[in-house]
Amino acid sequence: MPGNGLILAIESSCDETAAAVVQRGSRTLSSAVASQIATHARYGGVVPELASREHLRAVVPVVRAALAQANIALADLDAIAVTSGPGLAGALLVGITYAKALAYAQNIPLIAVNHLEGHIHAVLLNERESLQRQSSLEKGTGAPGLASETWDGSTSGDQPALALVVSGGHTHLYLARPAHGSWTYSLIGRTVDDAAGEAYDKVAKLLGLGYPGGPWIDNLALHGNPHAVPFAFSQIKTKLHLGGKPPRTKAARTAPIANLDPHFLFSFSGIKTAVLRYVELHNLRPEAEVRRETLFTGPDAPPSPTVDDALATCDLQTLDLIASFQHAVVGDLMKKTFAAQESLGVLRILVTGGVSANRELRSRFTAEAARRNLHVAFPTLALSTDNAAMIAAAAWPRLQAGQFAPSGLSADPSLALGK
């Protein structure tokens, strides 16, 4: 069994360069994230070449910051973990190359982690940390010390769970089952086109709001009527997608849809088009252009526009549109997640990924789970979006099981999770 169970993880799959040190998959010693939002914001989305360049700049300082925050040296580590996919090839390669070099220099194992599994472990890490805190308090021992740590990372909460990973690149439903200290995953449903976060980002761009769009829509939706525009999701016709046609977007590439129940499939490209039609029909485009110019791209745009700045540029019709869009997206995520939960008979739901930071999503999932007498959990806001603590947490069972990456590990932009 490895020494102190200290894992340094590196995450660089998209537009955040992150490093973290986590002990035994259950105690975060540090989590550093360098965001590239400022670089990509003016393009309204992630530019892959710029992402790779920014990762190259940030990876060494971010790893140093994570070690310094954790107050440990490279020599204290038991393993290095790194995201190997899915994500942007060039971005992933920066993290992988640096992680390999560190592992080789320290002569410690390298562990490859699937980014989606990482998102699921963000919730598990939070749950373990709070259980651990609780048990320390009950024993009256306060915070457990590094060397005296006896926690093995398992909790009584390690029961099968339905996990909804909902982010800018994914909207996937998995059945996650504990298996001998590790986890196995079965794909239950997923988007056949855009991810939910992608729809948030595209709708925000269309309305002249900032990047990423999720937080803007989350905040502005509070001021509109969610029932003003009746957006509807039609039942997905799987035959169309099973006809051998190649998937249309990056989100659809990570897993096959054959054999999945169409009731658990998502599609978010339609609502994006419906918003576009509404904007055109109600002539909201000129207002969106003025908003973009005033808040983000114009010479007099404030350095960091606030929600109040944005609110001042939105008429009621736009706010109603934003609130209705969000209400419909969250409603569809709920409908399919709870349908899958019912069909599988699991009593525990985990919702994770960037979109899980959304307030309406959290409150509606929480209320529905309570109504059904189910347990629902979300990561803390810091662990909802991309970070490396979740990668280190997912790597812990692998370290225990001796599942290490081959020396020829490379990036896999379409890496799938589970069967």
Residues in the site for ligand KG4, rule: CB under 6 A? 14, 167-169, 197, 200-201, 212-215, 218, 353-355, 357-358, 385-386
CB of 118: closest distance to Zn ion in angstroms? 7
CB of 338: closest distance to ligand KG4 in angstroms? 19
Asked if 167 interacts with Zn ion (CB under 5 A), we say yes
Task: Select from ligand KG4, Zn ion, none the partner in contact with residue 132, using the beta carbon and a kind-dependent cut-off of 5 to 8 Å.
Answer: none
Of residues 77 and 252, the one with the C-beta less far from ligand KG4: 252
Of residues 14 and 113, the one with the C-beta less far from ligand KG4: 14
Number of C-alpha atoms within 13 angstroms, CB side, residue 112?
A: 19
Asked if 254 interacts with Zn ion (CB under 5 A), we say no
Task: Select from Zn ion, ligand KG4, none the partner in contact with residue 355, using the beta carbon and a kind-dependent cut-off of 5 to 8 Å.
Answer: ligand KG4
CB of 386: closest distance to Zn ion in angstroms? 4
Alpha-carbon distance 59 to 339, whole Å?
41
Q: Which two tokens stand for residue 347?
A: 């009593």
Q: Which two tokens stand for residue 368?
A: 């529905």
Task: Select from ligand KG4, Zn ion, none the partner in contact with residue 385, using the beta carbon and a kind-dependent cut-off of 5 to 8 Å.
Answer: ligand KG4
CB of 201: closest distance to ligand KG4 in angstroms? 5
Task: Select from Zn ion, ligand KG4, none the partner in contact with residue 174, using the beta carbon and a kind-dependent cut-off of 5 to 8 Å.
Answer: none
Task: Select from Zn ion, ligand KG4, none the partner in contact with residue 218, using the beta carbon and a kind-dependent cut-off of 5 to 8 Å.
Answer: ligand KG4
Phi, psi at residue 33, to the nearest 5°?
-135, 125
Contacts of 139 (CB under 8 A, 6+ apart): none
The one-character DSSP state at 218 is H
CB of 22: closest distance to Zn ion in angstroms? 17
Q: Which two tokens stand for residue 336?
A: 């399919």
The one-character DSSP state at 298 is S
Given a contact cutoff of 8 angstroms between Cβ atoms, the answer to whether 324 and 231 are in contact is yes
Alpha-carbon distance 40 to 62, whole Å?
19
- One-letter amino acid identity for 182? S
Of residues 12 and 318, the one with the C-beta less far from Zn ion: 12
CB of 196: closest distance to ligand KG4 in angstroms? 7
**Among residues 224, 386, 389, 396, which is the contact residue for Zn ion, using CB under 5 A?**
386
Alpha-carbon distance 31 to 18, whole Å?
7
- One-letter amino acid identity for 157? G
Alpha-carbon distance 123 to 20, whole Å?
16
Alpha-carbon distance 193 to 197, whole Å?
12
Of residues 183 and 216, the one with the C-beta less far from ligand KG4: 216
- Kindly list the residues in this chain that would bind Zn ion in the complex (CB under 5 A): 167, 386
